[in-house]
């Protein structure tokens, strides 16, 4: 590999001749061959947005020559458009606070800006990564600001996916409003309910999770950029913090503003823990819901089987005809990952010391992945499980068109007619003792409760059906 020689404060480093990054990045590559994971694309976007905004403000304040600032902005715009992404190469597990990633970004932007001015890569005379690209900034305010921008942008995508899921569940709730089934508590028979009520409750749970995530936005939107090394704003003009935040708001469309206390923004990562905790709560709710889906779809011959799921792929390499609830299983796994990531964010959050939390790179990585994995998983789950058009086969081989998650009305009717939970409904009508005798006879003779009640002359079939309908009116 052809190389060039670049220098940093520790001495000379060999850098690939065609690399846009420089000596500090090359040193970080050598120091941190840990996971093979590069920074999340949204984290690169956010960091470059900070560099662009700083260049715009520094030009306006007279702290950067217009030509230099314009070249930096043009280089940033190229990266924001998707170019040079292969140049952001530092492992996600790296030097504390994210200095390596920050310098990787500074070097890429500086070298590309120098080229735009007619210079060559590695020549810091035209555009310097520290003096020009990083002007008025420190890793300590750049990285947490980038995490906040990432989180706000990714939250928008996740919220859209969750809105789709809530709407899809709500639509299914309306579709299944007329399907009666047995409720279950302790995994045992409980009083009757509508299948639509079960789906509508899931829709409400997802909506509540959206609200918890939205509550994180105001704190995430207060930026610490301009606080520099510890929040004091050393080496930055008085207007720098406010104006960079305003530039970021204008260019990204995010509702960000400068924090009233830049020291706190350097010290605390509690806002990230709050977001991660809300993602964890979402993951817990989604896990509960998809586990219920797996239970209700279990079988088809030896399980509950009250709902049918689209068959999206064969389920076994050895059992012909087996189809598994793979979309629900996938969403389970993503949720487990998010729950584990939250534990890491929590530990990293409490690891802050005095004026800085040096664990920010691992916080960024876990928030980036949790937000993107949940967004993708929920979107795919809605598309491939809740809404997918598919063709089922009836008992005589006839084709039945299905729309996503479907109700097996025969299975629902079978279980509700035999549910011991019906005894609760019979109490007011025929008395506790008579209801107990009915349930015992129904279980003993393997008959439906309805049949036994009618045969014993305790109620007419019409009265029983009316009682059942009244019990689930709400």
Residues that are catalytic: 186, 316
Q: Compute how many other C-beta atoms are within 10 angstroms of the C-beta atom of residue 175.
A: 17
Taking each helix axis as running N to C, give the angle between helix 360-381 and helix 270-296, from 0 to 180 degrees, rounded to the nearest 10.
30
Per the document, the length of the chain is 474
Find all residues with CB under 8 Å of 263, minimum gap 6, and list them.
227, 230, 231, 232, 355
Report H helices in 184-296.
195-214, 217-220, 240-252, 262-267, 270-296
Q: If you compute the radius of gyration of the chain from its CA atoms, what whole number of angstroms results? A: 30
Please name which of 178, 394, 147, 103 lies closest in space to residue 274, comparing C-alpha atoms.
Answer: 147
Here the tokens at position 101 are: 């990633």
Find all residues with CB under 8 Å of 432, minimum gap 6, and list them.
none
Return the bridge partners of 222, or none. 257
Find all residues with CB under 8 Å of 317, minimum gap 6, and list them.
none
Q: Scanning the structure block, which residue is given the tokens 């947490």?
A: 144
């Amino acid at each position: 590999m052809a190389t060039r020689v670049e220098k940093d404060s520790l001495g000379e480093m060999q850098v690939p001749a065609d690399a846009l990054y420089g000596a500090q990045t090359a040193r970080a590559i050598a120091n941190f061959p840990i996971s093979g994971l590069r920074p999340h694309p949204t984290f690169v976007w956010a960091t470059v947005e900070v560099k662009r905004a700083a260049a715009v403000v520094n030009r306006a304040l007279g702290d950067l020559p217009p030509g230099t600032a314009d070249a930096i902005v043009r280089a940033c715009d190229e990266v924001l458009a998707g170019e040079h992404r292969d140049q952001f190469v530092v492992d996600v597990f790296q030097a504390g606070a994210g200095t390596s990633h920050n310098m990787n970004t500074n070097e890429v932007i500086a070298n590309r800006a120098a080229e735009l001015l007619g210079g060559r890569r590695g020549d810091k005379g035209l555009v310097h990564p520290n003096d020009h690209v990083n002007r008025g900034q420190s890793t300590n305010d750049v990285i947490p600001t980038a995490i906040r921008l990432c989180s706000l942008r990714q939250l928008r995508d996740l919220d859209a996916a969750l809105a789709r899921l809530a709407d899809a569940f709500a639509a299914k709730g309306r579709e299944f409003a007329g399907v009666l089934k047995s409720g279950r508590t302790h995994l045992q028979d409980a009083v009757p309910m509508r299948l639509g009520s079960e789906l509508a409750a899931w829709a409400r749970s997802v909506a509540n999770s959206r609200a918890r995530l939205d509550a994180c936005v105001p704190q995430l939107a207060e930026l610490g950029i301009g606080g520099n090394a510890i929040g004091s704003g050393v080496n930055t003009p008085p207007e720098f913090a406010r104006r960079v935040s305003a530039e970021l708001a204008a260019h990204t469309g995010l509702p960000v503003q400068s924090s009233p206390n830049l020291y706190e923004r350097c010290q605390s990562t509690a806002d990230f823990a709050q977001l991660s905790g809300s993602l964890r709560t979402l993951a817990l709710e989604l896990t509960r819901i998809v586990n219920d889906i797996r239970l209700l779809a279990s079988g088809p011959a030896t399980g509950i089987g009250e709902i049918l799921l689209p068959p999206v792929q064969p389920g076994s390499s050895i059992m012909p005809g087996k189809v598994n609830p793979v979309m629900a299983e996938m969403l389970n796994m993503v949720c487990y990952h998010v729950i584990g990531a939250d534990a890491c964010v929590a530990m990293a959050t409490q690891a802050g010391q005095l004026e800085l939390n040096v664990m920010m790179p691992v916080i960024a990585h876990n928030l980036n992945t949790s937000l993107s994995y949940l967004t993708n998983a929920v979107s795919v789950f809605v598309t491939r499980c809740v809404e997918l058009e598919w063709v089922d086969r009836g008992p005589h081989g006839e084709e039945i068109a299905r729309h996503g998650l479907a109700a097996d009305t025969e299975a629902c009717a079978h279980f509700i007619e035999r549910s011991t939970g019906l005894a609760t409904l019979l109490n007011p009508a025929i008395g506790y003792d008579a209801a107990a005798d009915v349930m015992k006879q129904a279980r003993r003779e393997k008959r439906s409760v309805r049949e036994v009640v009618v045969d014993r002359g305790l109620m007419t079939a019409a009265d029983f059906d009316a009682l059942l309908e009244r019990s689930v009116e709400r």
